[in-house]
Amino acid sequence: MSEEELTFWEKLARIDRRVFYWILFIGLMIPFIRPIVFPIAISPSTRDLYEGIKEMVEPGDVVVMNIAFGVSAWPECMPAFCACTKLLIKEGAKIIFWGAYYDVDMTYQEVLRRCEDYFKDLKYGEDYVYLGYYPYQEAAVAQLAASIRSIFKTDNYGTPLDEIPMMKNVDKATDIKLVLSGDTGDVCDYYIRQWRIPYGTPVAEIGIAMLGSSYMPFYKSGVLFGMSVGVRGGAELEKLIGEPGEATIRMGAINISHILVVIAVILANIGYFASRRK
């Protein structure tokens, strides 16, 4: 059947994909030209993450921030990761950064840049330390729980761990107050299996939106003490720490894209049913 012979309803059910690409492209530009801000309700998993950090962390406690997301996931994970970093610094925690992604150096530098106001009063080696990359596999995470020094002899810049003041009495999972894992994959599973279950170290997830469904059962069962899901989780955390930022602005694009998807699905089904009745 040629394009001219199609009825309006049939055309509605067969819109060219390029039309959608352009609609989405133009739609996504709107919130960046004129921000669209709606109130954001805090989801229970984000609230538990925020309150868990506030309740558990005492000044001087050592916390691990695991970077298991690459630069491609910065838009989704970075706002929540930075919000948690800021919250930990406010609570007086000492932070160990390490990562399971080969571009972890970039992400660490970006965290420092985005949280510059918080890090300017902190001293490297006393308040935070960066150990660098470890190979992406469960054996490494298990061994980190048993002995950090068996995986990292030095920090990322070649200083032996024993010469770093905040690492003096820190070597195993029991010396760590909690782990926050920023993920695009399944690295948080390793921390659940190798840190949370055998040593009882509290673990929380800062993941891309897709991981919300994967880790929700762990959160619901109390294995994860909290969870931030995608940009929305980042926006919620920004609201909770009282510093609206990148994720809050980005929620405008989320609103537009999500509503466009729903409209497209409704149009497709109207066209489908109308052409079927004919």
Q: Given the rule CB under 8 A, which residues bind other proteins?
A: 15, 17, 20-21, 24-25, 38-41, 70-75, 103, 105-106, 109, 134-137, 139-140, 142-143, 146-147, 150-151, 156-158, 198, 209, 213-214, 216-217, 220, 230, 232, 251, 254-255, 257-262, 264-265, 267-269, 272-273
Between 89 and 236, CB nearer to other proteins: 236
- Sign of the Cα pseudo-torsion (23, 26, 28, 31, in order): negative
Q: How far is the CB of 57 from other proteins (least distance, A)?
A: 25
Q: How far is the CB of 126 from other proteins (least distance, A)?
A: 19
Between 9 and 136, CB nearer to other proteins: 136
Q: How far is the CB of 59 from other proteins (least distance, A)?
A: 29
Between 1 and 41, CB nearer to other proteins: 41
Between 93 and 227, CB nearer to other proteins: 227
Q: Torsion over CA of 80, 84, 86 and 92, rounded to 10 degrees?
A: 180
Q: How far is CA 28 from CA 5, 73, 232, 256, in A?
A: 34, 18, 16, 7
Query: What distance separates the 2 farthest-apart alpha carbons in the chain?
Result: 79
Q: How far is the CB of 250 from other proteins (least distance, A)?
A: 11
| Residue linked to tokens 């921000």 | 35
